[in-house]
Structure 1
Amino acid sequence: MNAEHVVIGIDGGGTHTRVMICDLWGHVLACAERGSASIYKDKQAAQNVQGAITDALHLAGRTTEQVLALVAGIAGYDAPSDLDWIAPLTKLPGLTCPIRHVNDAVSAHSGALMGRSGIIVIAGTGSIIVGITEDGQFIRNYDFHHYAASAARFIAYDAVYEMLAGSFDDTDHHLLQAMLAHWSVPTVSELAAIAKKGFTEDRRERDKQFGEFAPAITEAAAQGSTAAIRVCNRAVDQIKVGIELIAASFAGVEVEVAFIGSVANSPYFLQELGAQLRQGNNKRYSVVEPKFSPVIGSVLLALKHIHIPIDDALIDNLHAYNKPWQNQ
């Protein structure tokens, strides 16, 4: 190992692929971002990931031969069979280092809680709740066949259905106008007409369009929209159930919880989730700020893979980096 050697961390989400190059002392040498890493969101997923790796290496002034380890957290990695489409994402000529693929929630947990036991809630493009217990058990809400429909597209679908079902009042005026503008129609009846045709035939494009409307819903909830509050509270309730399911396996009476993603970190969700968790059933919950972003979580896993100590000096070097992707 020498000063030219590096590790690569990847946060491959449903919207963005983020790649970070670090030296063995935690100095961030380069970052790059491209589109989705999920084939379920973007047919160009492999090109996105490979392109972001290539961009980051070029910016860092490094070659594939100087990479000692790569860890990629990929959205949608839920079963061993998923490696059939995930492994090719990181195949580059000359990249012969050990490569580890994990679910993106593993990277997020690594960055947020730095190896401590606790639970993370991811609600943004996707939705998953993950805990690591004091004895190292890795538990997802998926393991219970539980899913919290709190991803951006789901709360948007829910809000649109509320409006089409006539479940709105005067408090929802601004939300309704924003919804009509988003779908470029003047009236609810015309929104209903395109809804009956499935909005748009391509599922990826449809989900993207709905996901992009989610910020208007969380903002409307914070401003008192009855329909938006109803939609957001349903998602919050499902998140709380998922947290409680996982927390029952922890030995301690208090469990740390961190929130990651645009939905989970919206002002309304932060306030309502915090209030719900103060009335926890199974445990006392301590809501904490994520220490680092998921892409740094992948970097930490890569450094650990080659037995680099994660000491205070290395953490300070990572902190010195201006983190534009924190909590995303």
Structure 2
Amino acid sequence: MRRWMAIDVGQTTVRVRTSWTSEVITAPGFHDPAADPVAAAFGAVRPILAAFAGSMIDDVPVVLAIGHTGLPEPAEGLDAVAKLILAELPVVSEVRLFPDAVTAHAGALSGRAGVVVAAGTGTVCLGVDSAGRAARVDGVGHLVGDAGSAYDLGRAGLRQAVWHQERREAASALYEAARRHLLDDLDLGDDLGASLRRLCWLPDRVKLVAAFARPVIDSAQAGDQVAARLVGQAAADLAATVRACAALIEPAAEDRRIACVGGMFASDALAQPFRAALDLADWRVVPADGTVLDGTVLLAGDSPGLHASLGHFRKGS
């Protein structure tokens, strides 16, 4: 009997599925790595391993596949994480580590070639052709990348709210939305500027800023022109990311498919202008077959297929 465990480590949530339970388990997501990225990456999955240790049968090996948003680089760091996992759970026969862009791609296209853009808290786009050659665009983190992500849009919305308070911008519904988000929902004080300064020191600041993307989209759908402009810019940025990725690979005509995953595409307020801005006549946008966790499950299977060269594999003793 072959057993597997699939873990999707995102910035907001960790999700787990196994071959011996039907339930999807969730846990808090991965924060920015500390001074030791290996310890941080391992620390994100260690509580999950401990929670499932009691349900594993000692003489039945488990293949563990992990899609992780915070894997260390280069390969030595990946191998160090894999060794820590094997030491923690000797019943694991093999560890397969993949960047979350790879698991998103595998899940959205069921292991087939094409381009997948994932826009949630962050943004990354991965293209893979039928020979397994890959190209990645963005996914470099919130400091300089993640264009069109929830963090990017949330930050833009908060900036507009501050500029309104400073009389640099015209009135917008985003000002009151930001006050509700920071002062009421997060209870960060009674002043917008002071609450934003406090936000900068919180360990989960990326997630909290990204959460403001939803009020920005809601304001755009309600007719606020400032919010609509910000959502339109996010859509244009995501379209540019996909175009850049598509230009870096040369798939066969039948493999020129694009799938979109992540919470940013859940609203037509962004999805429709994204499609309009895409401008790739010889490509087709297809519905995503599955989630990032579905992709991790697929890559825990007998063969990772096109994605085999995009992961790090370490067998147990």
**Are the equivalent residues in 2 in contact too, given 1:113–1:290 (CA < 8 A)?**
yes
The secondary structure found in structure 2 opposite 1:98 is strand
The secondary structure found in structure 1 opposite 2:302 is helix
Seen in structure 2, the aligned counterparts of structure 1 residues 56 and 93 have a Cα distance that, compared at 3 Å, is closer
For residue 236 of structure 1, what is the aligned residue in structure 2? Answer: 235
Q: CA deviation at 1:70?
A: 1.3
The answer as to 2:113 corresponding to 1:121 is no
Q: Which amino acid is the alignment partner of residue 165 of structure 1?
A: W
For residue 83 of structure 1, what is the aligned residue in structure 2? Answer: 78
For residue 220 of structure 1, what is the aligned residue in structure 2? Answer: 219
Measure the CA separation in 2 of the matches of 1:165 and 1:95: 55
Q: Counterparts of 1:91-130 in structure 2 under 5 Å?
A: 91=86, 92-130=88-126
Q: CA deviation at 1:21?
A: 0.6
Aligned mate of 1:19, from 16, 19, 22: 16
Q: CA deviation at 1:215?
A: 0.9
Seen in structure 2, the aligned counterparts of structure 1 residues 176 and 201 have a Cα distance that, compared at 3 Å, is closer
Which segments of 5 or more consecutive residues in structure 2 lack a partner in the other structure? 185-189, 306-317
The secondary structure found in structure 2 opposite 1:140 is strand
Q: CA deviation at 1:47?
A: 4.9
Seen in structure 2, the aligned counterparts of structure 1 residues 251 and 88 have a Cα distance that, compared at 3 Å, is closer
Seen in structure 2, the aligned counterparts of structure 1 residues 290 and 55 have a Cα distance that, compared at 3 Å, is farther
Seen in structure 2, the aligned counterparts of structure 1 residues 126 and 285 have a Cα distance that, compared at 3 Å, is same
Measure the CA separation in 1 of the matches of 2:303 and 2:61: 13
Measure the CA separation in 2 of the matches of 1:202 and 1:85: 30
The secondary structure found in structure 2 opposite 1:290 is coil
Q: CA deviation at 1:218?
A: 1.5
For residue 35 of structure 1, what is the aligned residue in structure 2? Answer: 28
Structure-2-length-normalised TM-score: 0.78
Measure the CA separation in 1 of the matches of 2:140 and 2:41: 29
The secondary structure found in structure 2 opposite 1:284 is coil
- The percentage of counterpart residues that share the same residue type is 24
Measure the CA separation in 2 of the matches of 1:252 and 1:306: 21
Measure the CA separation in 2 of the matches of 1:162 and 1:6: 50
The secondary structure found in structure 1 opposite 2:96 is strand
**Are the equivalent residues in 1 in contact too, given 2:16–2:26 (CA < 8 A)?**
yes
Q: CA RMSD in A?
A: 3.3
Q: Which amino acid is the alignment partner of residue 156 of structure 1?
A: G
For residue 315 of structure 2, what is the aligned residue in structure 1? Answer: none
Q: Counterparts of 1:170-249 in structure 2 under 5 Å?
A: 172-173=172-173, 175-184=174-183, 190-195=191-196, 198-248=197-247, 249=249
Seen in structure 2, the aligned counterparts of structure 1 residues 253 and 105 have a Cα distance that, compared at 3 Å, is same
Q: Counterparts of 1:292-303 in structure 2 under 5 Å?
A: 292-303=290-301
Measure the CA separation in 2 of the matches of 1:44 and 1:190: 34
Measure the CA separation in 1 of the matches of 2:145 and 2:130: 24
Using CA pairs under 8 Å that are at least 6 residues apart, name the structure with larger relative contact order, 1 or 2: 2
For residue 149 of structure 2, what is the aligned residue in structure 1? Answer: 151
**Are the equivalent residues in 2 in contact too, given 1:218–1:263 (CA < 8 A)?**
no
Q: Which amino acid is the alignment partner of residue 176 of structure 2?
A: Q
The secondary structure found in structure 1 opposite 2:266 is coil
Aligned mate of 1:141, from 137, 143, 161: 137
Q: Which consecutive aligned stretches of 4+ in structure 1 deviate over 6 angstroms post-superposition?
A: 41-45, 143-146
Measure the CA separation in 2 of the matches of 1:157 and 1:143: 17
